Amino acid sequence: MAMNIIETDPLTIGRVIGDVVDKFTPTMKMTITYNNKQVYNGHEFFPSSLTTKPKVQIHGGDMRSFFTLVMTDPDVPGPSDPYLREHLQWMVTDIPGTTDATFGKEVMKYEMPRPNIGIHRFVFLLFKQKRRQAVIKIPNSRDLFNTRNFADENDLGHPVAAVFFNAQRETAPRRR
């Protein structure tokens, strides 16, 4: 008799594993906050609260280890038919361990999430670099970005941390 294994990993349930990256084991802790509100897997944020880039704190490593942060939207133009997958929202390289993203090199400026159709996932992935300035193949476009290919081209391996949130288009405020 076969046993059904119930998957509890939010990255798998949220299809980040599969749609964006292959299965991996997180080895670092990363904290992401928008206006002092921490991002947890699968929680929803209003796009109006995401206008400025978040604070990204890396817990672990040391000043001699460097990391690349990727923020991507795998649900463009909409989650039911994401034929434009992925859209690169933000990229920071050369972030020293134990610091935050402001200490790294922003190679793709932060773009505020603007989901148009349906509920979009916005995924933050942290990769450990082999050395400083190891990321040399920087994408020249935000459109049709591929996290797997980017990691392969820059010899980054699997992510060491990841978290995602959901957002959908906000409707106009209703009068009462």
Determine the pLDDT at residue 172: 64
Above pLDDT 70, what percent of the chain?
Answer: 93
- Lowest-confidence range among 73-87, 115-129, 162-176? 162-176
Q: What is the pLDDT of residues 18-60, one digit of tens each?
A: 999 999 999 999 999 999 999 999 999 999 999 999 999 999 8
Please, is 170 exposed, middle or buried when counting C-beta atoms within 10 Å of its C-beta (0-12, 13-18, 19+)?
A: exposed
Reported as a pLDDT band with limits 50, 70 and 90, residue 173 is low
Q: pLDDT tier at 3 (50, 70, 90 boundaries)?
A: low
Instruction: Tell me: pLDDT of 2 over 60.
Output: no
Instruction: Determine which of 14-23, 58-67, 107-116, 165-174 has the lowest per-residue pLDDT on average.
Output: 165-174
- Percentage above 90 pLDDT, the chain: 88
* pLDDT range class, residue 95, cuts 50, 70, 90: very high
CA dist., res. 81 & res. 146, Å (int):
16
Distance between CA atoms of residues 125 and 114, nearest Å:
19
